[in-house]
Amino acid sequence: MMALPAVRAMAGREGDPTMPEELRADVVVVGAGPVGGTLACRLAAAGVVTAIVDRAALPPMEHPVFDGRAYAIAAGSRALLMDAGLWDRLPDLPNPILDIRVTDGLVGRRASRLHLHFNHQEAGGEPGPFGWMVEARGLRRALNAHVRDLPDLRVFAPAEASVERSVEGARVGIVGGPSIACRLVIAAEGRQSPLREAAGIRVTRIGYDQTGIVCAISHELPHNNLALEHFLPSGPFAVLPMAPSVDAEEGGAPNVSAVVWTERTRIAETILGLDDRRFAREIRRRLGDYLGDVRTVGRRWNYPLSAMLAHRYVDTRLALAGDAAHAIHPVAGQGLNLGFRDAIALAGLVIEAKAAGEDVGSPGLLARYQRARRPDNLAMLAMTDGLDRLFSTNNPAARLARDLGIAAVDRAGPLKRVFMRRAMGA
């Protein structure tokens, strides 16, 4: 198949008379979210001719004001963003996570003295942060700018697409626009992936009677780049260190952290209805005093929690990536990083095949991708599901057992380093 000539990226426009009726590409990525967008940039940066299609227009995805959402980018995922050319385009400086503290307790009471503390200098290998906190709006702005600067990437957004796949190749039809002949289609359109459904790929789902509350706080005392994972009977309560913000509140906020709060759904509904003062007080009851006085900044977001795993990650000329392939409980903060690991594996295989003049959508390549990623994602789903079930209970015997377990891991150097390297995405 001929390659699409090197052209600057452009948004697809319905009825554009300058657009040829047929384009040729190596890969078409459907879905321009963080995983799909980053994967498309990584491929195009390496000379793989790529097109990306999304139903939504890209600029409206940007939130011009502070909204409280942020991503924990593991050290391993940072390498992908750098290779894709996105890291240096982030508009705000990411904040490093240098320490992680895991505690257990009850709402309104001091955390157990038996705890687990990870220090990045003890992880082994070359010292570096466990990860970085990046504002969601910052990554979106970097993506939107970068996709239009890559000569080997075309963007169609907003656009509706139809996909036809066969052993010989695939064709993606843009409604009101051109048809794109390609060798591989990557489904990165989220948990309800239409391409996954059309391929007849079954999924296993796990429901949780829990809601994830996401927000940000401005606080009196510095966080010292410490991430806290505090286990409570209703679910984990995480506080993650963000960079100072110039617009989180009037006059700027020097001390800011992201909150990812798991709560029983019926309780979450009540909490989300509280005014700002009482909402902040509920955060302080769970957080304790180590950050001093806290105020909520930005918006409150809430999501029903569930887990999902696709039974297959591939079909003829099709690969699933990110939330189209899997979704896990947020207890370990690894959901997006698993999607980035999909992107690392798939991009590596495609770039290698392209360089060798091989078919980038061959059955053998897709089988290698599935072998590389599905066991890792299945293991992470099992681990996060088990952690939530173990810690989201107020049973005294269970609480004692897990506190002793936490303390034992804290004292077991080799095992502790394994957990730290895993948190880094290594």
Residue 373 lies in a domain: yes
- What is the chain's mean pLDDT, rounded? 89
Residues 293 and 261 in one domain: yes
Nearest to 30 by CA among 41, 19, 44, 40: 40
Residue 13 lies in a domain: no
Higher pLDDT, 6 or 319: 319
Residues 232 and 281 in one domain: yes
Lowest pLDDT segment from 202-216, 242-256, 323-337? 323-337
User: In this predicted model, what pLDDT tens digit does every residue of 346-382 receive, in sequence order?
Assistant: 999 999 999 999 999 999 999 999 999 999 999 999 9
Those residues whose C-beta lies under 8 Å from the C-beta of residue 322, and which sit 6 or more positions away, are 31, 33, 34, 35, 36, 188, 190, 338, 339, 342, 343
pLDDT at 185 over 50: yes
State the pLDDT at residue 8: 30
Residues 372 and 276 in one domain: no
Residues 114 and 130 in one domain: yes
Residues 339 and 219 in one domain: no
Residue 43 lies in a domain: yes
Q: What is the pTM of this model?
A: 0.90
Quote the CA–CA distance of 193 and 315 in Å, as a whole number.
14
Q: What CATH number corresponds to the domain at position 411?
A: 3.30.9.10
Type of residue numbered 15: G
What is the arithmetic mean of pLDDT over 308-328?
98
Residue 128 lies in a domain: yes
Q: What CATH number corresponds to the domain at position 189?
A: 3.50.50.60
User: In this predicted model, what pLDDT tens digit does every residue of 47-72 receive, in sequence order?
Assistant: 999 999 999 999 877 888 899 999 99
Number of domains into which the chain is organized: 2
User: In this predicted model, what pLDDT tens digit does every residue of 22-44 receive, in sequence order?
Assistant: 899 999 999 999 999 999 999 99
Residues 216 and 296 in one domain: yes
User: In this predicted model, what pLDDT tens digit does every residue of 216-234 receive, in sequence order?
Assistant: 999 999 999 999 999 899 9
For residue 4, what is the DSSP state? P
Higher pLDDT, 243 or 6: 243
pLDDT at 14 over 70: no
Residue 374: give the domain boundaries: 22-58+147-202+311-386
State the pLDDT at residue 40: 98
Residues 300 and 214 in one domain: yes
Residue 140 lies in a domain: no
pLDDT at 9 over 80: no
Residues 261 and 300 in one domain: yes
